[in-house]
Amino acid sequence: MDIDLPPEDAAFRDEVRTFLAAHLPEPVRAGAAASPTVFVEPEIGQAWNAVLNDKGWLGYQWPEAHGGTGWSPLRRYIFEKECALAGAPNLTVLGLKLVAPVIWTFGTEAQKAFYLPRILSGEDYWCQGFSEPGSGSDLASLQCRAVWDGQQYVLNGSKMWTTHAHHANRMFCLVRTDASAKKQAGISFLLIDMNQPGISVRPILTVAGDHEVNQVFLEDVVVPAQDLVGDEGQGWTIAKFLLENERGGSCHAPKLIYDLDQLTKAATGESDGRGGTMAQDTHWQRRAARARLGVQALEMIELKIISELAQGRKPGPQTSLAKLLASNLRQEIDLLAVDLYGPAGLQLELARPLYGDNAPEPVHSRDAQLAAPRYLNSRAWTIFGGTNEVQANIIARSVLGLGG
C-alpha cells in the first residue's frame, strides 16, 4: 500500500530507487529471480553485498557507531521495500541481521572490533548452529556439549538444518556448558571457526532438490575463551534476543507484494505465463485476492512494528504474529504459482512419465520452471525461525493471556 511519507523520507525513497536503477547489476537481479530458495548462493548475494558496502548502505540496520547507516526504522523499511520491488536478492541475514546485533549488544569490545568489519566486508560468511537432531522447537533441550579444559572450550555434538554451512567459515552456536543446571540456564553462545579439524558438513537435500541445509558434526572442536559471547550460561537470553530479531527484523510484505504482482501479470497475459487463462478462473482469482488482503494486513502489522521501534519500544509478540502471517502467505502465494503454471511448468522430460505422449510442451519461462521448486522449498517457512505452533503459543500466552 502507499503511505504518505514526510518530504525528507520521500526524497530518500527516490534516492534509493535511482541508486537501484543504476547499480543493481542485471546478473545479480537475474540470479535472485532464478533462485528457488530463501538464501541465494553466495556468489550472487555477496556480489550485491559488495555493491551496497561500497555505497555505505550494507549495514542499513546497524548503528552508526558500528559501521552502519543509523537509519530510522522507517528508512530501513523504505530501503527494504524498494529493494524487494526492484528484484534485488535477500541480504546475507545470518551475519548482517542475526549475529551482528548479538555481537554489538552482548559482545566484548575486541569481538566488535574484529567481527563486525569482517561481516560488512564479506570476509566472514556465517551459519547458525542452533537446531539439533533431537532439539528443534524445543531448542532448550540441545545436547551439543562444550567443556572447559582450563584454556579453551572443547565441543562435541552435531547441529541440524544448518543453512549454508557448506559455504560458511564461521558459525554462531548454542552449546551446553553446564549439564547440571536447569536446561535453559546451562546454555552458552560461542563463535566458531569452521576452518579447523573436527568439523564435517554433511549435505541435506530438501524435497525441492536444493542443497541449502546441512548437518554439521563437531568432534573435539576448539573454541578459545575470547569467542564466548556474553557470560557463560547466558546463551538462552542471547538466543531469545536473536530469534526476536529473526522473526521481526525484516519486512516480508514488500517481497510478497512483488511476487503476487508478477503472478497477476502472468495470469492476465501481461507476461509469458499461460496466456491469461487464469484471468477467467474465479476460484484462482478469489484466492489471489484473499492473499493480497492478507499481505496488506501483514504490511500494516510490520508498519506497526516499525512505529514501535521508532518510539524506542520493543515490539514483542507482534513479531510472532508477523512471522506467522508471512509464513502462511509465502506458502499460499507459491501454491498460486503452481496452480497458475500447472504441468506446463515442468521440464518436458519430467512431464512425460506423468502424461506419456500427451505431455504438454514446457513453458520456456523462468517463473514457470521455478514454481514447483519454490513451493516445495517454502514448506520450510512454517518451521524455521520457530514453527507456526510455537508462534501461536507465544501469541496466545502473551497477547490473549491464555495458557500457563
Q: Under a CB-based contact definition with an 8 Å cutoff, are residues 42 and 118 in contact?
A: no
- What are the grid coordinates assigned to 328, written together? 502462511
Q: Under a CB-based contact definition with an 8 Å cutoff, are residues 69 and 62 in contact?
A: yes
- Partners of 91 in beta bridges: none
Q: Under a CB-based contact definition with an 8 Å cutoff, are residues 49 and 25 in contact?
A: no
Q: Which helix (H) or strand (E) element contains residue 301?
A: helix 282-310
- Partners of 236 in beta bridges: none
Distance of CA 285 to the CA centre of its chain: 29
Amino acid at 103: I
The one catalytic residue among 246, 299, 302, 332: 246
Give strand ranges (E) for 106-210.
126-129, 145-148, 152-159, 170-176, 187-193, 199-205
Instruction: Burial-class residue 207 by CB neighbours within 10 Å (0-12, 13-18, 19+).
Output: exposed
Report d(CA 299, CA 254) in Å as an integer.
Answer: 8
- What are the grid coordinates assigned to 131, written together? 537446531
Q: Is 80 a known active-site residue?
A: no
CB atoms within 10 A of CB 311: 8
For the annotated catalytic residues, the residue numbers are 246
